[in-house]
Structure 1
Amino acid sequence: MPNRPATAVSPAPAPNPPGEYDGASPFPPDGPARRRGGGERVYVTVTAVIVVLPFLALGVSGWLLWGRLISTVDIVLFAVFYVLSGLGVTVGFHRGLTHGSYQAVRPLRTVLAVAGSMSFQGDVIGWVATHRRHHAFTDRPGDPHSPYRYGTHLIGQVRGLLHAHVGWLFRSDATSAERYAPDLLADVDIRRVARAFPVLCLLTLALPFGLGWLIGGSWLYGVTGLLWAGLVRIALLHHVTWSVNSLCHLIGERPFRTRRHDRATNLWPLALLSFGESWHNLHHADPTSARHGVDRGQIDPSAAVIRLFERLGWAHDVRWPTRARIDARRS
């Protein structure tokens, strides 16, 4: 089967028979609409703040940059916090805790869970449960953030792209941790990290402010550190992660076979910013693989970090892909 982009659109399909999904029709409704209670309104409000505030910081950053340069302190702090929190998500939350691509010694497992929590993407148990559910129902009814939710016709694809990128965060569609992450609920250290998520959100903003002030010697460096290494860093990492949910199921190449209806793609422009997560087609073809970028020229920083942990004796039972396993999954 030749590689092909997953961008083709078609006329709006006829409704499916009950209980069936043809891969093109809109997903059936989740159930009867519910009125939002007080707790749910709080959830939506907090989600909106987490999504919108870092994005607004980009506008403030543009204003601060008008006619002046960003400082070296800002650049260094931005890079350090982006790498630490990003690898916490990719190496810790995703390849380690979600898929068991390797086993980490307990201190490393906990540190990575803390680092991932500082990305502002939700508590570790909720993140893992949602992602496991995504793999259980990829691009079919039950997937919490498929871009095919509204069908494959043009308008449906536009709505689906917005839904997969950020809209799903605002839906009343909670994922059961008891069903999808019972192993993490049974882990005392991971439960503690999950409960500490609000504190870690404050810490991920306070640290850039404090370090900026300490290194730069002025509160102004603290403010710009908070802006760049705090809010702008969070906004960029959010949209890179969400782009794997959205763009990496719509555009790109599909050199490997996936399950029926699964349209995960490889999207090379996101490879570095996502630490190798945008080699998404191989990941969905072989979810437990510790390496996602397996072909020549496919840079995978997360796999390199896992290799380093393995050599240091901090990770074991790493599921490295073999050539036979890779070839068996090619289209």
Structure 2
Amino acid sequence: MHTYHNPRIDHPGQIADASNGRVVTSFTKSMWALSMLIGTSLGLTAFFSWSGLVLYVVSTWLVLCLGHSLGMHRLFIHRAYRVPRWLSLLLIHLGTVTGIAGPMGMLYTHDLRDWAQRQTHCHAMFAQSGVWYRDLWWQVCCNIQLTTPPCFVPEPAIAQDRAVQWMERTWMLQQLPWAVLFFYFGGWSWVCWGICARVISCIFGHWLIGYFAHNDELSKHMHRSWHVEKAAVQGQNVRWTSLLAMGENWHNNHHAFPYSARMGLESGQWDPGWWILSGLARLGIATQLVLPETATQRSDLTRLSVSERI
């Protein structure tokens, strides 16, 4: 029995502070979000088409489920299962074309937030506390510079993976082949809906789930079954978004069992990402699935009684 920690960022004996730092505006992130927002506006006005809208729905579902949830989060970040390399790179690519960040950028942002939320105190940007419009600006358009940050050391298999490093360097340009393909078949309507509207929906959707899942002021509207001792942020289950979030909404479960390939752990907790992953497992494509019963046990984790649950 031991306390869970992330080996990439939380090293024993390391002096680091999750509370003190400053939030700075990122020109790159701001211009990226603004350009996608402008393109979406053009899709709604000058280039609207029903086929473009269908493309938006289908492509957004695919990149959020196969890319962000299965590829970037459960596979690349948490190594919760294994698949052949060709499929691994495809899923990571689909996670990259959500337009949130590149693979290494997502890995660092996730690990830093994960580490900070497990401290006894953390900066408001990590806790996503306060008014929604400030948090929206911080998460979408800013970065945090901690006064004494922890060390981030990715595994050699990740740091030396040329395909991953290439996707990181070109993460914005990863949209280009899809944009050319969409323009060929559907013109500017398909580009606006299949690229811009999809990317801005992924960016804002990622923020929205995180805001509801982490903000303690909203906890009375959420639900949790687990308590992580001494953690600054517990994480909440956002019950009404399971199909939209592909199972990522079961965030209290995820805080309790970070390496679990399954996020919807209880009856009625729909987890579309797990449905697809378990199907791949039955086909023999996905292997070594990590579940709560097989993951590392934690001494700092307590299951709440029914009366204690929010």
Query: What is the 5 A alignment of 1:46-195?
Result: 46-64=28-46, 70-71=49-50, 73-86=51-64, 87-138=66-117, 140-141=121-122, 145-148=126-129, 157-158=130-131, 161-168=132-139, 169-173=141-145, 178-180=152-154, 182-195=156-169
Distance apart, 1:267 and its partner CA = 0.8
Distance apart, 1:95 and its partner CA = 0.6
- Kindly indicate whether residue 176 of structure 2 is the aligned counterpart of residue 202 of structure 1: yes
Q: How many residues align?
A: 275
Residue type matched to 2:160 in 1? Answer: A
Deviation sequence 1:13-64 (CA, Å, 0-9, x none): xxxxxx999xxxxx74317x9xx9xxxx9xx332112212223344334435
Q: Distance in 2 between matches of 1:238 and 1:90?
A: 14
Task: Choose between structure 1 and 2 for higher RCO, CA contacts under 8 A separated by at least 6 residues.
Answer: 2
**When the two structures are superposed, what TM-score results if normalisation uses the length of structure 2?**
0.77
Distance apart, 1:239 and its partner CA = 1.2
Aligned to 1:258: 228
Aligned to 1:316: 287
Aligned to 1:173, the other structure's residue is in SS state strand
Using a 3 Å threshold, how does the CA distance of structure 1 residues 20 and 178 change in structure 2: closer, same or farther?
Answer: closer
Task: Report if aligned partners of 1:276, 1:300 keep a CA contact under 8 Å in 2.
Answer: yes
Deviation sequence 1:59-91 (CA, Å, 0-9, x none): 3344359xxx842x2233213311222121111
Distance apart, 1:183 and its partner CA = 4.1
Distance apart, 1:176 and its partner CA = 8.2
Distance apart, 1:145 and its partner CA = 3.3
Using a 3 Å threshold, how does the CA distance of structure 1 residues 287 and 165 change in structure 2: closer, same or farther?
Answer: farther
Using a 3 Å threshold, how does the CA distance of structure 1 residues 121 and 131 change in structure 2: closer, same or farther?
Answer: same
Aligned to 1:330: 303
Q: Distance in 2 between matches of 1:55 and 1:270?
A: 23
Q: RMSD of the TM alignment (CA)?
A: 3.3
Distance apart, 1:279 and its partner CA = 0.8
**When the two structures are superposed, what TM-score results if normalisation uses the length of structure 1?**
0.72
Distance apart, 1:181 and its partner CA = 5.5
Distance apart, 1:141 and its partner CA = 2.5
Task: Report if aligned partners of 2:127, 2:233 keep a CA contact under 8 Å in 1.
Answer: no
Task: Report if aligned partners of 1:276, 1:293 keep a CA contact under 8 Å in 2.
Answer: yes
Query: What is the 5 A alignment of 1:287-326?
Result: 287-322=258-293
Residue type matched to 1:84 in 2? Answer: L
Q: Distance in 1 between matches of 2:33 and 2:56?
A: 19
Aligned to 2:227, the other structure's residue is in SS state coil
Q: What are structure 1's unaligned runs of at least 5 residues?
A: 1-18, 22-26, 149-156, 213-221
Task: Report if aligned partners of 1:177, 1:185 keep a CA contact under 8 Å in 2.
Answer: no
Equivalent position to 2:211, from 219, 230, 246: 246
Q: Distance in 2 between matches of 1:102 and 1:284?
A: 18
Using a 3 Å threshold, how does the CA distance of structure 1 residues 307 and 49 change in structure 2: closer, same or farther?
Answer: same
Q: Distance in 2 between matches of 1:45 and 1:179?
A: 26
Equivalent position to 2:21, from 27, 30, 55: 30
Residue type matched to 2:88 in 1? Answer: R
Using a 3 Å threshold, how does the CA distance of structure 1 residues 92 and 130 change in structure 2: closer, same or farther?
Answer: same
Using a 3 Å threshold, how does the CA distance of structure 1 residues 302 and 266 change in structure 2: closer, same or farther?
Answer: same
Deviation sequence 1:258-293 (CA, Å, 0-9, x none): 242223111123221211101111001110111111
Give the share of equivalent positions with the same residue, in percent: 22
Aligned to 1:254, the other structure's residue is in SS state coil
